[in-house]
Amino acid sequence: MRILFLHPNFPAQFRHVATILAQNPKNQVVFGTKTENNNTIPGVRKVMYAPNRDAHPNTHHYLRSTEDAVLQGQAVYRMCIELKASGFVPDLICGHSGWGPTLFVKDIFPNAPLLSYFEWYYNARGSDADFDPDEPLSADDFPRLRTKNTPIMLDLVNCDWGLSPTQWQKSQFPPIFQPKITALHDGVDTNFFKPEPNAKLVLPNLDLSHVDELITYVARGMEPYRGFPQFIETLAYVQERRPNCHAVIVGENRVCYGKAAPAGITFKDMMLEKFPLDLSRVHFTGGLPYGQYLKVIQASSVHVYLTRPFVLSWSMIESMSTGCLVLGSDTAPVREVIRDGENGLLVDFFNPKKIADRIDEILDHPTRMAELRVNARQTALERYSHDDLLAQQVKLLEAVANRSLPPKLSIPGISNPELFMSESGQASAKKSDKKSSKKQRGFAALIDSPAKD
């Protein structure tokens, strides 16, 4: 099989599935990307594309991201012309939707099935955008967010099938398109992310082997979307109560998601000025290599994961896989994985005092919390094991390539989907329950009905 992967970054979410497909000598794997780096995958041919320019500053601000996507789509279009001229015609195209690389591939390879990776759909209500009452949306934000979905909508229409990593993320897409999307997580390496009993944290520049109470926090950046301000305020409460407690914060001093801090300052600076912590007990490591990051979460007494209703971080499930006691925000993407009091604990995102209270509860009752740690690890093994889900990903790609749709996969189910469905998704589900199958509309009907001349 000839497979063409498309992603602005390399290898991004396709690292593992591209690796396993490339191990089969009968496959030809080409990866189109615009990011130049030294990363390589044996058997994968990396092909570069480059937009001719950036979006014009005078373009209407609703449309700048769409113009960027079109420019990136054009660059991929040119790349595909060269691939076709060299004799490479894919049996399957698999690409990330939103940035634009998949927009025009069907115009070059009309007979190649397209599997789009749908990570997020922008909604102004009932999701991340209107989550914080202190940051109300302006009148301008509603049409801007709607328009931002333009390249994603084109992919939803043109792709043969879609893939979304969680049920929550899938639920953000318009209900008419959801039957066209399989929810299948990328998975975590449960053999690598495994418990290390009685682990103590020792890194090249940080020795906390003497610390018995260790709070950990991991995110790509330090930003409101991942609850960084609430976490710093939480530490202020904790430090007053627990003089021997330390915290390790893994991540870079930047914003990856959401609005930037005011010019000339970072959210880290803002919060440390507002809450002057004892920094001898708070350790900012920056980004870490995987081996050192693993040591951090293996030594964790309690791992705090806070997020708005947004894309779920791999780090939360990786922490559960190591047997961490995860204290997560009581938000939809977290509730899809954590059941309060069973395999972790949940807490109000906006209540630092309550977060500190739950940290006290965890640290004061290590024996009682031991079962939750075991269950966290079991959840990772049963529902998010890289080995199991990678096999399902390969089956999904093969099914799309063979046009065997909808794909028949064995994916661990969710017992309470209403916990993470968006408001629009819940409303759609209720309406659907009241209708007979003959009255169904959208892609479900198209998929289940035989084609007519």
pLDDT at 444: 38
Q: What is the pLDDT of residue 443?
A: 34
Q: Give dist(CA 355, CA 234) in Å, integer.
A: 6
Mutual orientation of helices 267-274 and 228-241 as an angle, nearest 10°?
30
Task: Decide: pTM greater than 0.85.
Answer: yes
In one-letter notation, the amino acid at residue 217 is Y
| Distance from C-alpha of 71 to C-alpha of 401, rounded to nearest angstrom | 27
Structure tokens at 190: 């449960």
Structural domains of the chain, with CATH: 2-187+387-448 (3.40.50.2000), 201-383 (3.40.50.2000)
Low-confidence ranges of the chain (pLDDT < 70): 412-453
pLDDT score for 98: 95
CA dihedral 406, 411, 416, 421 (to 10 degrees): -50
Q: Which residues pair with 93 in a beta bridge?
A: 4, 114
Please spell the DSSP secondary structure of 42-92, one letter per residue: TTEEEEE---SSPPPTTS-TTTHHHHHHHHHHHHHHHHHHHHHHTT---SE
How open is the CA angle 288-292-297, to the nearest 5 degrees?
A: 100
Tell which residue, 98, 78, 86, has the closest CA to residue 32: 78
For 295-308, the pLDDT digits (tens) are 999 999 999 999 99
User: In angstroms, what CA-CA distances link 357 with 88, 162, 271?
Assistant: 59, 42, 20
pLDDT at 451: 33
